[in-house]
Amino acid sequence: MMRTTRTARRGATVGVAIGSIALLTLTACGTTSGETAATGDAATELGETEGQVSILAWPGYVEDGSNDPAVDWVTPFEEETGCEVTSKTYGTSDEAVNLMKTGDYDVVAASGDATLRLIAGGEVQPVNTDLIPNYEGIYDFLKEKEWNSVDGQSYGVPHGYGANLLMYNTEVFPEAPTSWDVVFDRASENSGKVTAYDSPIYIADAAVYLMHHQPELGIENPYALDEEQFQAAVDLLKEQRQHIGEYWSDYLKEIQAFETGDSVVGTTWQVIQNVLAGSGAPTEVVLPEEGATGWSDTWMIASDAANVNCAYEWLNYIASPEANAQATEYFGEAPSNQEACEFRSEGSCEAFHAGDEEYASQIWYWTTPIAECVDGRTDVECVDYAQWTAAWQEIKG
C-alpha cells in the first residue's frame, strides 16, 4: 500500500519539479552543452521516409544479425519501411549524452539518468505519440513519467525496464537476505567480497536505504537530495568502500566474480542471475524490503534529426509486440508492450516480472538529479548530477 502511494506521489510532482525552470537550471549546472532548453513542438504529421536512419543505443538494442545471424530485428524493419539503419553503441549514459551533442544521430535509446539532460540540452524533441500507433500498447505505468516526459509532454517511447537487485551467494547466505543492510551496515561481515555498480547514479541506492533506516533525514525521492541528505548518502558509501572487492559496470565481470567467489553479495541485474543460474552457480537474487533503483529506457528523437520520418517509423516498430519482445528478451529485461510476452520464450516474462505493476512500484527508476528538486520541494536546492559525479570519484578514491 505504501509503495503504491509513493509511485502516485512521484507522478504528481513531475509538472512542478521538471518544468521550464528545471530545464534552465540543468543548463546552468554544466551538465549539458550549454544550449537552450528544448522548446520545439512535436511533429503534427509525417511525410515520406528518407531511406535511412541513424541510431545510438545500448549494446543489444539494435541487432541486425551481424553479431548472431539468429538475432535480427533490424532487417525486417528495413524491409518493411525502406529505412536503412546505421547504428552505434555506447557504454555509459554520460557517453550517450556527449555523442548526442554531435548531431550525428536521429534516434537514441536513453536511460533515465540521461533523458532529462538530453531534454534540457535541447538534444531531443517532443514526440507526438498519436503518430506512433504501437504506443497504445505500452504499459500505462511506464508512460508520462518524470524520466520520459515534461509537463505532460512525452519525449519518447518506453522500451524495457528492470530493477537493480541484490545478488547473494547461497552458500554464504543459506537464508535469503531481506535487506540491503548486507552491503551497507553489515558489509563488514563479507569485507572484500561485496560488489556495487560503478556509476554516480549508485548514490541513489544508498539514498533508498537511508529512506528506510534514517527516516529523520526526510528523503522522499532518492534522486532529489538536498545537501544534508546527499552528504549522508555519500558518507554511507565511503564507509562501504572499505568492504568493496570491486565495482562493476561490465556485467560479464560481475558474472565472473560470482562464479569464482570473489564476490558473494551486491547489486546486480536479473539477466546476470539468469546467466549464473544457467551455469549452475550458487546464486540467487531478491528485491529487498527497502525497494530498489532500476531503469526504464526510452527511445527518443534528436531535435535536429535529419531523418525524422524514419525515426518515427523506428519508434513505432520497436514498440510493436514482436520487435519489443525480441529486443528486450535478448538484452535481459521486461518488455514495455503489453502483448510482447506472447512472442517471448516461455517463462522469460515471469523471470523479469513483466507487467507486474506492484513489483514495478517498488522500483525507483533512474532519473537525472537536478537542482530543482524532483520531489516537489521548493524551499531547498537539490544536488545536481555534476556534483553526484564529483562525489562518486571521491567515494572511490
Q: Counting every residue, how long is the chain? A: 397
Q: Do domains 16-162+294-365 and 164-293+372-396 have the same CATH topology?
A: yes
Domain ranges, ordered by start, for the chain: 16-162+294-365, 164-293+372-396
What pLDDT does 377 receive?
A: 95
Domain 164-293+372-396 top-level CATH class: alpha beta
What pLDDT does 89 receive?
A: 92
Q: What is the DSSP string of 109-149?
A: EE-HHHHHHHHHTT-B----GGG-GGGGGB-GGGSS-TTTE
CATH of 16-162+294-365, one of 3.40.190.10, 3.40.640.10, 3.40.50.2300, 3.40.710.10: 3.40.190.10
What pLDDT does 351 receive?
A: 86
Contact present, 247 and 196 (Cβ < 8 Å) = yes
What pLDDT does 169 receive?
A: 98
As a whole number of angstroms, the distance between CA 82 and CA 200 comes to: 40
Looking at residue 332, the DSSP 8-state letter turns out to be T
What pLDDT does 154 receive?
A: 96
The maximal CA–CA distance of the chain, rounded, in angstroms, is: 62
| Cβ contacts of 241-244, under 8 Å, gap ≥ 24 | 241/395, 241/396, 241/397, 242/191, 243/187, 243/188, 243/190, 243/191, 243/192, 243/194, 244/194, 244/195, 244/196
Contacts of 290 (CB under 8 A, 6+ apart): 179, 180, 208, 209, 211, 212, 213
| Residue 108, amino acid | V
What pLDDT does 37 receive?
A: 39
pLDDT tens digits in sequence order for the chain, 397 residues long: 222 222 322 333 333 333 433 443 333 333 333 233 344 789 999 999 999 999 999 888 999 999 889 899 999 999 999 999 999 998 788 899 999 999 999 999 999 999 989 999 999 999 999 999 999 999 999 999 989 999 899 999 999 998 999 999 999 999 999 999 999 999 999 999 999 999 999 999 999 999 999 999 999 999 999 999 999 999 999 999 999 999 998 888 999 999 999 999 999 988 889 889 889 999 999 999 999 999 999 999 999 999 999 999 999 999 999 999 999 998 889 999 999 999 999 999 998 899 998 888 889 999 889 999 989 999 999 999 999 999 999 999 8
